[in-house]
Amino acid sequence: MTDTETGAKTPSRRALIGWGGAGLALGAAVAGGAVAVTRTDDMDPAAADTGGAVDFHGAHQAGIATPVQDRLHFAAFDVTTASRAEFVQMLKDWTEAARRMTAGKAIGEGAYGGLAEAPPDDTGEALGLKPSRLTLTIGFGPSLFDKFGLKDKRPEALVDLPQFPGDNLDKARSGGDLCIQACADDPQVAVHAIRNLARIGFGKAAIRWSQLGFGKTSSTTPGAQTPRNLFGFKDGTRNIAGTETDRLKKFVWVGEGDGTDWMTGGSYLVARRIRMNIETWDRTSLAEQEDVFGRDKREGAAVGKAKEHDEPFLKAMKPTAHVRLAHPDSNNGATILRRGYSFTDGTDGLGRLEAGLFFLAYQRDVRKGFIPVQRNLSRMDALNEYTQHVGSAIFAIPPGVKDAGDWWGRTLFSKEA
């Protein structure tokens, strides 16, 4: 079956969108005033309102420096096969499916292709929906390296995270041999992607836990306002923008000299499920809320400053202020790229909203990124009174899939596969 036969999903009029190499076009668009970013949107300027597809191929995986999409479905998997060959084949099959889905195409012969006597290749619920800037990003957890003879390949930087003060981690929502981060502007597109990868993985990998995020809380678009979290605040204002190639190189992408060749061009992801005690926070005074963050609530400006993006004067804040403690100047320059999402998973047994922040941070080395920052925060942050870390995972994010012949994990598996 050709793409044309998948009907409405054919991406004929769709542009492939991404920061990569788009500097000129971006500059031109902004200079021409053609792009209206009217709210806290993190739309790729070139993709605004096009429902465009993000290029799956590149030196780095999409979904990291890519402008943050509106919705998230994140899944951690455990390996269920003992066969390395089977596992590698699954990675190849996943890559092909991801290549098609991110381009807005159905998988294989589609939801009504092939034999009527066989299950459709694609489950079908995304038919007729736009590509919605879907990105799919794979990661390998520490436990994967206990399998398939990979022990010597485990990067030193892929450490087991230490227990931080206040951690109350649910094992069932932590860890995982693999992860897939699906981000898209339409949640049905993200859910469809995870579901179909899980389906392809049947017998080889099974979902360990998953998390739906309904609202982004971070921006990687230069100058954009930061979306508000469930405490009603902007947080993570000084995030790394997708256009800041120097900072990305320094803080996010694994470099050639970093000691693990197969990871060059990759990154490390820390995922934390942070429960927010919404009801307690909502009974806290505005003054206390602003002291806790070290920002004003209205604009998101640091204490004593006028605008969100004004450089903060840390000493003007309380020593326990979140902005002060998380700032690179309080952490020997440690800088991470954040891509977190708000979540709401119904209600707990006490009638409180089961809600919070699904924190996602990318960095070149967690030992110089998340770990020192979180050590600092977990010890002193005034916000700890209102939050609790209840899930945790770390993943090595391999480099991008270069072209149509490449596949996820090739640099890790190829020589012996």
CB-nearer residue toward a second copy: 342 or 411: 342
**Cα dihedral 253→149→270→361 (10° resolution):** 20
The residues in 348-387 that bind a second copy, with binding defined as CB under 8 A, are 349, 351-353, 355
Query: Which segment (231-239, 262-270, 332-340, 366-374) binds a second copy by CB under 8 A?
Result: 231-239
Q: Work out which of 99, 105, 153, 195 binds a second copy, going by CB under 8 A.
A: 195
Residue 166 as a binder of a second copy (CB under 8 A): the answer is no
Residue 131 as a binder of a second copy (CB under 8 A): the answer is no
Q: How far apart are the first and last CA of the chain?
A: 30
Residue 338 as a binder of a second copy (CB under 8 A): the answer is no
Dihedral of alpha carbons 367, 372, 375, 377, sign: negative
Distances (CA, A) of 341 to 37, 180, 312, 346, 364: 20, 15, 24, 16, 21
The residues in 18-57 that bind a second copy, with binding defined as CB under 8 A, are 39-40, 49
Residue 69 as a binder of a second copy (CB under 8 A): the answer is no
Shortest spacing between CB 4 and a second copy, in angstroms: 13
* Residue 395 CB partners (closer than 8 Å, separation 6+): 139, 140, 141, 158, 176, 178, 179, 268, 269, 271
CB-nearer residue toward a second copy: 164 or 214: 214
Least Cα distance to 177 among 213, 150, 156, 157 occurs for: 150
Residue 347 as a binder of a second copy (CB under 8 A): the answer is yes
Q: Work out which of 14, 16, 124, 318 binds a second copy, going by CB under 8 A.
A: 124
Shortest spacing between CB 390 and a second copy, in angstroms: 13
Shortest spacing between CB 106 and a second copy, in angstroms: 10
One-letter amino acid for residue 172 of the chain? A
One-letter amino acid for residue 391 of the chain? G
CB-nearer residue toward a second copy: 65 or 200: 200
**DSSP code at position 386:** G
Residue 7 as a binder of a second copy (CB under 8 A): the answer is yes
Backbone angles phi, psi at 394, to 5 degrees: -135, 140
Q: Work out which of 99, 130, 204, 275 binds a second copy, going by CB under 8 A.
A: 130
Cα separation of 87 and 204, whole Å? 6
Q: Work out which of 56, 94, 233, 408 binds a second copy, going by CB under 8 A.
A: 233
Shortest spacing between CB 250 and a second copy, in angstroms: 31
Least Cα distance to 65 among 265, 233, 212 occurs for: 265
Q: Work out which of 102, 218, 225, 376 binds a second copy, going by CB under 8 A.
A: 225
The residues in 296-315 that bind a second copy, with binding defined as CB under 8 A, are 296-298
Quick note: the x/- pattern for a second copy over 196-215, rule CB under 8 A, is: --xx--x---xxxxxxx-xx
Least Cα distance to 392 among 304, 272, 312 occurs for: 272
Q: Work out which of 10, 188, 245, 260 binds a second copy, going by CB under 8 A.
A: 188
Cα separation of 229 and 227, whole Å? 7
Token pair recorded at residue 76: 């951690």
CB 186 within 8 A of CB 396: no
One-letter amino acid for residue 221 of the chain? T
CB-nearer residue toward a second copy: 167 or 290: 290
Shortest spacing between CB 198 and a second copy, in angstroms: 7
Residue 405 as a binder of a second copy (CB under 8 A): the answer is no
Is residue 2 exposed (0-12), middle (13-18) or buried (19+ Cβ within 10 Å)? exposed
Shortest spacing between CB 227 and a second copy, in angstroms: 8
Q: Work out which of 62, 88, 111, 292 binds a second copy, going by CB under 8 A.
A: 111
Q: Work out which of 33, 287, 311, 415 binds a second copy, going by CB under 8 A.
A: 287
